[in-house]
Structure 1
Amino acid sequence: MSWKSADNSAAESVDLVWFSEVQWDFLSTRKQRLLQRFSSRWRILFIEPYALGRSAHWLPVKRGRVVVVTVPFLKTVPFSIGRLLDLAVPRNGIASAGHLVLRFWLMMLGFSSPRRIIGLSNVYWGVVAAGMPCSLRFYDANDDHLSFPGSPSWLPPFLARYLQACSLVFSVSPELTARLQLPEGIRCVELGNGVEYDHFAVDTPEIPSFLAALEGRKLGYAGAMDWVDCELLAGIAGAWPDVHIVLVGPAYERNWWERQEQLRGFSNVHYVGRVDYGDLPTWINGFDLALMPLLRNPLKTVSHPNKLYEYCAAGVPVLAIDYCSALDAARGVIHVARTNEEFIAMIPEALRDNRKAERKAFARQHDWNRLAAEMERELLKSSGRGCL
């Protein structure tokens, strides 16, 4: 069972094994957008975690040139028995079992060569990935992975161990780079997030029937629900009862919407849930105002939001709370509020924003094609394979 590409010889191809913290089909993120744009010389194995209640790929599947397979590991141990992982013996036992599954798929799929490149964004694999023979190890710091809720006390050494073993880091922001406290000798490339510009820059898309049926102005948020400031959303809903607040996207936390009793009490707040990535531009283009009401916490303040560029590529007006430095470069084309009160008061002004062409031009500068080409060049150069 080998998934070697038919149009590349073994000498020409480059193997990449990426340990992801996000499932490939659950949410379209930085990883999928970058890896799908690598050149045909790459063979890519995407190791995704198991998540309770979501589809898993126990047998490998292809997503373009990327092979995806689910390998359960420490992060996926059910919460009811997860406290056992605070003890080294059960933790090491479970890790060993996951490692055996990993080694099986590496061998069966032809990704065992010591010439492979190892990429990590799932910190729980840090110790295992640090010990795997390879020509290059890199870390994709797309978030502060140690600041996620529920991160165990034994996890920081996993990341430290991996950083000691790797030689290249891609970071989405200078704030995150500083927080990592990288060992000496590691090359760091600040590679922010981006947008599939042509996918979102559609001038006359078909608007979803759900949006078309809503009378009045539509204020929308598209993204993961876990990071929205629900108190701010409730403030908007109460202050502007004649507008509709439309929430589009999945939640990592199970039964997230059922827990939002305050938001569910407003008749002008609508939770749509997850929509296909292919349909997302039609939803965003149906917003009269795109919202970025994100939490201001240690996790989000070092982030670099994809949705900023997706909103701008669509050309719709954007209103954001001032939660991260990535917004600074966009202040000429979007509205940014310092406080919840200012955010709510700024809505009428933001709705009148007609800088559509300027927003599209700003988004085009952050197209994924450019970012993927830069990452690919860095990986080839750092692994001793030369440039494209």
Structure 2
Amino acid sequence: MTVVTVPFLKNIPSGEPQLFDNALIRWLVALAGRMIAAFWCQALGFSSSERLIGLSNIYWGGVAASMPCRVRFYDANDDHLGFTSGQPWLRESMHRFVEKADLIFYVSNPLLDKLSPRPEQRCVELGNGVEFDHFAVPRPETPEQLCSLPGPILGYAGAMDWIDADLVASVARAWPEYSVVLVGPAYAHDWADRHVELLSLPNVHWVGKVGYDELPAWVQRFDLALMPLERSPLKRASNPNKLYEYAAAGVPILAIDYCDAVRKASGVAHVASTPEEFVRLVTQALADGRKAARQAFARAHSWEALAETMVHELRNAMQRRLS
């Protein structure tokens, strides 16, 4: 595998909107990108029109749509247009590529609806995935920060920016004898300042970012893994891989009903319709002994399983174009 970095305008740098929100600047960046891409395609032997071209983001949609190939596919793994940092020209870039795609993989029905595929386009729901063994193989070591905390441990692993802080605070107040552990970074520089009330609760412990290699040791020590995510249009179209990471670790899961993926996992996770129900379900979820079922669910969503599906579909798409 050869990884090549090609420039593109993903976001407008802060404080410089007039410079970068400019058609000429975008054209120059695209031209440089086309030249770099063409060079590497030629150098690596991928210049033939028999090639397969796929995108998992929308930033090079316009360029990729114009490159000759046998099959195009789009891996719709997130609502790229839903991020506030996204720029107006990205919509056109995405639709130019999606309109020409022979095959669309997607993680959720709400996301597929936003793509408005043509009736003749093949659309395959993949969902999200997990490195199964990484989270399933028992880790004997207990993170030092957890050793002194009273149990049960109610844990969340992920970005702090997406959680419903009021919901987490409600859980902490309802169960003051439990430890609520938050593992993960806050990307907004002022997140901690805006959530002083939550972080000042005596049984709430925010440990910050943990490396991917160490993360399973944390998740496996959760007595209950929480998914207290905000309910927003962006999250509604998502398919969180933390669901599958929790399941691979085998720990009980309690989620607020905020997306299709969570609802579909109701056979292995407790799903609350309201914040009040979320708090009430803590006791029931803690007693959930369906570890084998959770891990079987996660194994079916391993990256290997998803890759097999993708390869099968892509081979069929190539064959259809040959016939």
Report the TM-score, using the length of structure 1 for normalisation.
0.75
State the shift of 1:270 in Å.
Answer: 2.7
**Unaligned 5+ runs, structure 1:** 1-65
State the shift of 1:232 in Å.
Answer: 1.7
CA contact (8 A) 2:126 2:306 kept: yes
Rounded Cα–Cα distance in structure 2 between residues aligned with 1:221 and 1:337: 16
Partner of residue 248 from structure 1, selected from 172, 183, 189: 183
Structure 2 residue 216 is the aligned partner of structure 1 residue 281: yes
SS in 2 for 1:124: coil
CA contact (8 A) 2:10 2:87 kept: no
**Unaligned 5+ runs, structure 2:** none
CA separation of 1:259 and 1:232: change in aligned 2, threshold 3 A? same
Structure 2 residue 19 is the aligned partner of structure 1 residue 123: no
SS in 2 for 1:137: strand
**Which residue does 1:162 correspond to in 2?**
97
State the shift of 1:338 in Å.
Answer: 0.9
Partner of residue 269 from structure 1, selected from 195, 204, 207: 204
State the shift of 1:295 in Å.
Answer: 1.6
**Which residue does 1:351 correspond to in 2?**
286
**Which residue does 1:238 correspond to in 2?**
173
CA contact (8 A) 1:205 1:285 kept: no
**1:183-198 alignment, distance < 5 Å:** 183-198=118-133
More helix by share: 2
CA separation of 1:84 and 1:185: change in aligned 2, threshold 3 A? farther
Rounded Cα–Cα distance in structure 2 between residues aligned with 1:375 and 1:197: 18
Rounded Cα–Cα distance in structure 1 between residues aligned with 2:298 and 2:66: 39
**Which residue does 1:383 correspond to in 2?**
318
- Pick which of 154-163 and 231-240 moved more: 231-240
**1:19-30 alignment, distance < 5 Å:** none
Deviations, residues 150-183 of structure 1 (Å, cap 9, x unaligned): 3233321111111122111001122322232112
Rounded Cα–Cα distance in structure 2 between residues aligned with 1:121 and 1:87: 25
Structure 2 residue 68 is the aligned partner of structure 1 residue 133: yes
Rounded Cα–Cα distance in structure 2 between residues aligned with 1:280 and 1:221: 11
- Pick which of 98-107 and 355-364 moved more: 98-107
- Pick which of 99-108 and 281-290 moved more: 99-108
**Which residue does 1:228 correspond to in 2?**
163
CA separation of 1:70 and 1:241: change in aligned 2, threshold 3 A? farther
Structure 2 residue 5 is the aligned partner of structure 1 residue 90: no
CA separation of 1:291 and 1:361: change in aligned 2, threshold 3 A? same
SS in 1 for 2:117: coil
CA separation of 1:245 and 1:109: change in aligned 2, threshold 3 A? farther
Rounded Cα–Cα distance in structure 2 between residues aligned with 1:151 and 1:256: 21
CA separation of 1:344 and 1:118: change in aligned 2, threshold 3 A? same
Rounded Cα–Cα distance in structure 2 between residues aligned with 1:133 and 1:250: 41
SS in 2 for 1:74: coil
Report the TM-score, using the length of structure 2 for normalisation.
0.88
**Which residue does 2:117 correspond to in 1?**
182
Partner of residue 136 from structure 2, selected from 201, 205, 212: 201
Aligned-residue Cα RMSD (Å) equals 2.5
State the shift of 1:252 in Å.
Answer: 4.6
The one-letter amino acid paired with 1:373 is E
CA contact (8 A) 1:223 1:307 kept: yes
**Which residue does 2:277 correspond to in 1?**
342
Partner of residue 3 from structure 2, selected from 49, 52, 68: 68
CA separation of 1:385 and 1:187: change in aligned 2, threshold 3 A? closer
